[in-house]
Amino acid sequence: MSERMAHQFAIEVKDVSRVYPGPVPALAAFDLSVEYGEMVAITGPSGCGKSTLLHLLAAIDTPTSGSVIVGGRDLASIRDLSAYRRHDVGLVFQFHNLLPQLPALSNVALPMFGTHRSARQRKARARELLAEVNLGDCEDRLPTELSGGERQRVAIARSLANEPKILLADEPTGSLDSASSTRLLELFERLTNGGTTIVMVTHDSDVAAHAHRVIEMRDGRVIVGASTRL
């Protein structure tokens, strides 16, 4: 029982700090717990550490101190972080999400290299995902032939390629029109209903309002919403 209690959160960030060269740490004594199937919106002024938090959760950055625990596993103890990045989390960057030389379909298929899927299955799955974000007819377009919003949706499709338990999205609606935003939030809702945990950074309070919980950050710390589900 106590074992289960220790693992009840999808994400636990414990006393994490991330210090870059500079006067203020990007994250300082940061604590956060997110439950399975919860959608959390993170807001706060630019430079307060939102992206840094996502990067730590995605294991493409490491904390200066403290621990990041995902699905009960401390990331610091994971040997094969590539496999973690590939299977356990999906990450949508704020910028520069796509490889410019690859068409949308190939970009979506990238995380599926090194999985059990065959070339044919990768293609089929990538098609399915593009259709899911309403880009079924953009398969062969290069990123330069897509609008900002379309590129972002391709990135979202890619982040879902290996059905991650955790979805991390940095300003996913940043360049989407309101219709696309609504559709994306519906997709997120479906995902959380299916048990996916979502941590999304957003500036848009209307978007944040769709989350189960809104966390407000400032200067690398949580001001509002650290651990209580609203």
Partner 1 sequence: MTFFDLVLRNLWSKKARSIGLAFAVAIAVMAVVTLEVTSSSLEQSAAAIISVGKADFTVAQKGAADTLASTIDVDELARLRHTPGVASAVGVLVETQRINAENPVFIEIGINPSDLRAFGVKIVAGHHYSATAEHEVMLGWTAAANLGLHVGDRFNANGTWNTVTGIYSTGNAFGDAGAMFPLPAIQGYNRVPGIVTLAFVKVTKAASITAVAARVDYDQPELTTIRTAAQFGRADQDLVYLQAAVNGSTVLAILIGAVIIGNTMLLSLFERTREFGLLRAVGWTRRRTLGLLLGESLLLALVGATLGVALSFAIAVVLENLPALKGILHPNFTEGAFWRALFTALVMTLIGSLYPTIRAALLSPLRALSYE
Query: Contact positions toward partner 1, by CB under 8 A?
Result: 55, 58, 60-61, 82-87, 91, 93, 96-102, 105-106, 109-114, 119-120, 122-123, 126, 158, 162
- Asked if 26 interacts with ligand ADP (CB under 6 A), we say yes
Shortest distance (Å) from residue 19 CB to ligand ADP = 9
**Phi, psi (rounded to 5 degrees) for 22:** 145, 170
Pick what 228 binds: Mg ion, partner 1, ligand ADP, none; C-beta below 5 to 8 Å, kind-dependent: none
Could you tell me which of 81, 68, 65, 62 has the C-alpha nearest to residue 13?
68
> Mask: binding to ligand ADP, 48-67, rule CB under 6 A, as x and -?
xxxxx---------------
Q: Total residues contacting Mg ion (rule CB under 5 A)?
A: 1
- Asked if 51 interacts with Mg ion (CB under 5 A), we say yes
DSSP secondary-structure letter at 123? H
Pick what 49 binds: partner 1, Mg ion, ligand ADP, none; C-beta below 5 to 8 Å, kind-dependent: ligand ADP
Neighbour order of strands in the sheet with 27-35? 27-35, 9-18, 65-70, 73-74
Strand, helix or coil at 43?
A: strand
Angle, CA of 42, 219 and 13, to the nearest 5°: 55
Separation between Cα atoms, residue 137 and residue 221, nearest integer Å: 43
Binding site residues, Mg ion, CB under 5 A:
51
Please give the residue ranges that form the binding site for ligand ADP (CB under 6 A).
20, 22, 26, 46-52
